[in-house]
Structure 1
Amino acid sequence: MRYSLPTKELYIRNRAKFCEAMEKDAVAVFNSNDIMPTNADGIMPFRQNSDLLHLTGIDQEETILLIRPNFPDENLREVLFIRETNELIAVWEGHKFTKEEAREISGIQNVQWLSDFEKALNELAVASNAIYINANEHTRAMLDVETRDDRFSKWCHLKYPNHEYKRAAPVMQLIRTAKSQEEIDMLQKACDITNDGFRRILKFVRPGVNEYEIEAEFIHEFVKQKSRGFAYIPIIASGGDSCILHYIENKKTCKDGDMLLMDVAAEYGNYNADMTRTIPVNGRFSKRQADVYQAVWRVKTEATNMLRPGVVLSEFNKEVGLVMQSELLDLGLIDQTDIKNQASDSQAYKKYFTHNTSHFLGLDVHDVGSFYEPLPEGAVLTVEPGIYIPEENFGIRLEDNIVIQKENNLNLMKDIPLELEEIETLMNE
């Protein structure tokens, strides 16, 4: 394992939070993700199920967690099942966790081989009134592929048709939203690696450089520092493509006078940073580029100050839209007539600021959390306003990662260059 794990106490606390929130006469089941195929015998890199990882720290395929908080036999109140290895697997795939290693990582004392799962589940299920089934219930999830959780749900409903079934996802969303200090430390590490990648880029970018070369510089720095790579598919967009929110081709040559928008960040230990910076390819902002950049910077600063425990994110995004509206008026991109004639569901500012300001961040880049409930202290969110002007052939977005605190919020990206003058200075050293 290339990254340093948090201590097992984190996962012990996380399971205790889940047990406190679930019904007591119930058993909960959490499955690892599948290893997904590509073509022929190819496979995608394995990415662990975030809920299972949050509860166990076990970053390995074919893993199952059983939780039954008040079961009479204390040894069966939490059981971890892992894949049994052998010499052939060791030769072809490498080392798999031993029971002792899984016990030390997770803090779960009863670790068994996966082949013993059905017997243990049956013993717990027949003594339980309900079964908690997990699923990906993220509001933006694309659910075209059947997951391991989906297959287990079908099997479980057939085997135990008379049980009541409960959703584990709402409970997991509740306990994952506020981050512990150990999780914040992991996110900080991902942000620090991202910082080093960005500073490397500032010395590399110049007219004539290709977007994919910039992508290569980032991945070199990330992997060198024990990251497994990008937290998400990187956006390296120069010129007019900086107005395309999810431009991922990264194929063009950066030209003199272009702005270069980079939405790219590192992961570390499955925790994800999410950074956007926009810089001038030639190292100097034009007057118009600087004016728009400073407008975005002001919106980001005010939006960050507006985030506090108790804020409802759906309302916050609307309020930030009004701050952006004022900046767009000053830039001459909209006028009072546009505002007067705007529809209630299509505000004038959305012509140039087309997305929300913030989303949750953690084990997933778009992490779990409610846009309609008050934010808890310890939630981690992005703040990422942008202004996109296709008719002027450039867009600017600036994004930091913010820990919500009672007093002053913690910016995990405070060391990543952002000020216009600092960007120009570093690019021209």
Structure 2
Amino acid sequence: MKYKAIDNNLFIENRNKFKNNLKPNSLAVFVSNDIMPTNADGSMGFRQNADLFYLSGIDQEDTILVIFPDVKDGKHKEILFVKETSELIAIWEGAKLNKAQATAVSGIEHIYWHHEFEKVTKAFFIQAENIYLNSNEHTRRYIDTETAQDRFNKSITAKYPLHKIERSAPIMHRIRAIKSTQEIDLIQQACDITEKGFRRLLGFIKPGVWEYEIEAELIHEFVRNRSQGFAYGPIVASGSSACVLHYVENNRQCKDGDVILLDVAAEYSNYASDLTRALPVNGKYTKRQKEVYNAVLRVHRAAAKLLVPGQTFDKYNTAVGDLMTEELLKLNLLKSEDVKKQNPNWPAYKKYFMHGTSHFLGLDVHDVGFFQEPIQAGMVFTVEPGIYIQEEGLGIRIENNLLVTTNGQLDLMKNIPIEADEIEELMSKSKIMA
């Protein structure tokens, strides 16, 4: 991996948090993701299961974690199974972790090879009363592909049909939502790498540049700073493409007078950042573009102040909607009559701001957590209001990542330029220096 070694105390503490939520005499199992194929003998590369990484720090395929706090031998409370390395694997793929290295990464003492799983664990499964199995229960999950965890769950329930099966996902959603100091540091590193990529663009963007060239500048800066790359598919959308919320083609030429919406950010050590800015292609916003930009920025800043412990998302989203309605009225995009006769289930402002304002951020860019429960200190959220005016070919979204603290918020992207005037000044200076 490109990232520096992570102190294994993070994973030891995470496992302790998980254990504290288990029922007595329970065994839990977490399985690594598949390496997904493309065509012929190709693959998409490997991305570890976020829950397994959170609990172990192991970032390779063919890994299984077993947690059994009440095991009768008193020793095998944590067991890690990893892929057995060999000289052949070392030559063709690069050596996998040996047992000592797996212990150093995870803090787990008992390490076995992946192919020993059934032989080692059979007695433990029989001892356990409850088996906790993991699954992807993200509210926005729409995936038909059967995962390694799905296949594993089927095999375990078939082998042990009389055991009580419990779900790990609710526990993982709860403990992952509150970030530790180490996790915040890792997210901050992802944000700092994103800042470097963003600043690189200020002297590069100009009329005639292609969107994919901007994408290339970013990946260069991200990877040279130890990131694996983008935390999610980059959106580099100039002109009217900015009104397409998940535009990913990045294949248009940037034109003089356009604004380019950049929803682009780096990951670091599997932790995501998530940035959006809207830059003038020629380095100068028009009067109208700046009006819309500043309207979005006012909503962004007001919304950020609402992210406090005890806040509920229902009240938060209603308040942000009211803020946006006020700005859209000032921009003459809405009329008072539109607001008076609006559908409460789809308010008038949704015509120009149709997506949510905030989501959890962490090991996944749309991280796990409970939107139905009040906000707590230690949670990290995006704040990303936007205004999209299709008839004007203009889309503006502004997004930063905020840590909720006991007495307010900490903006993890506070050093990334956000004021329209500052962006214009920096783009002008960068072009002169270039």
State if a TM-score over 0.5 links the two structures. Answer: yes
**1:419 maps to what in 2?**
419
Number of residue-to-residue matches in the alignment: 429
Contact 2:79 2:111 in 1 (8 A): yes
**1:221 maps to what in 2?**
221
Instruction: Name the CA distance, whole Å, in 2 between partners of 1:152 and 1:295.
Output: 50
**2:159 maps to what in 1?**
159
Query: Identity over aligned residues, as a percent?
Result: 55
Instruction: Name the CA distance, whole Å, in 2 between partners of 1:328 and 1:183.
Output: 37
Specify the code of the residue in structure 2 equivalent to 1:57.
G
Q: Which runs of 5+ in 1 are unaligned?
A: none
**2:432 maps to what in 1?**
none
Specify the code of the residue in structure 2 equivalent to 1:410.
L
Instruction: Name the CA distance, whole Å, in 2 between partners of 1:94 and 1:353.
Output: 48
**1:257 maps to what in 2?**
257
Q: SS of the counterpart of 2:75? A: helix
Specify the code of the residue in structure 2 equivalent to 1:16.
N
Say which is worse superposed, 228-237 or 66-75, in terms of deviation. 66-75
**1:114 maps to what in 2?**
114
Specify the code of the residue in structure 2 equivalent to 1:225.
N
Deviations, residues 92-112 of structure 1 (Å, cap 9, x unaligned): 111100100110111101111
Q: Which runs of 5+ in 2 are unaligned?
A: 430-434
Q: SS of the counterpart of 2:387? A: strand
Report whether the alignment pairs 1:86 with 2:86.
yes
Structure 1 position 86, deviation (Å)? 1.1
Structure 1 position 323, deviation (Å)? 0.8
Q: In the TM superposition, what are the counterparts of 1:356-367 in structure 2 within 5 Å? A: 356-367=356-367
Q: In the TM superposition, what are the counterparts of 1:46-195 in structure 2 within 5 Å? A: 46-195=46-195
Instruction: Name the CA distance, whole Å, in 1 between partners of 2:208 and 2:270.
Output: 34
**2:28 maps to what in 1?**
28
Deviations, residues 250-269 of structure 1 (Å, cap 9, x unaligned): 01010111010000000111
Q: SS of the counterpart of 2:112? A: strand
Structure 1 position 311, deviation (Å)? 1.5
Instruction: Name the CA distance, whole Å, in 1 between partners of 2:7 and 2:74.
Output: 23
Structure 1 position 74, deviation (Å)? 2.3
Contact 1:197 1:217 in 2 (8 A): yes
Q: In the TM superposition, what are the counterparts of 1:5-20 in structure 2 within 5 Å? A: 5-20=5-20
Report whether the alignment pairs 1:280 with 2:267.
no
- Call closer, same or farther: CA 1:46–1:314 in 2, change over 3 Å: farther
Contact 1:83 1:113 in 2 (8 A): yes
Instruction: Name the CA distance, whole Å, in 2 between partners of 1:254 and 1:159.
Output: 58
Q: SS of the counterpart of 2:223? A: helix
Contact 1:24 1:68 in 2 (8 A): no
Contact 1:274 1:399 in 2 (8 A): yes
Deviations, residues 255-299 of structure 1 (Å, cap 9, x unaligned): 111010000000111001100000110111111111100000000
**1:230 maps to what in 2?**
230
Contact 2:299 2:324 in 1 (8 A): yes
Instruction: Name the CA distance, whole Å, in 1 between partners of 2:117 and 2:390.
Output: 56
Structure 1 position 25, deviation (Å)? 1.1
**1:382 maps to what in 2?**
382
Q: SS of the counterpart of 2:140? A: coil
Over the residues paired in the alignment, what is the CA RMSD in angstroms? 0.8
Report whether the alignment pairs 1:243 with 2:227.
no
Instruction: Name the CA distance, whole Å, in 1 between partners of 2:6 and 2:294.
Output: 39
Instruction: Name the CA distance, whole Å, in 2 between partners of 1:270 and 1:207.
Output: 34
Deviations, residues 51-70 of structure 1 (Å, cap 9, x unaligned): 00000000010000000112
**1:403 maps to what in 2?**
403
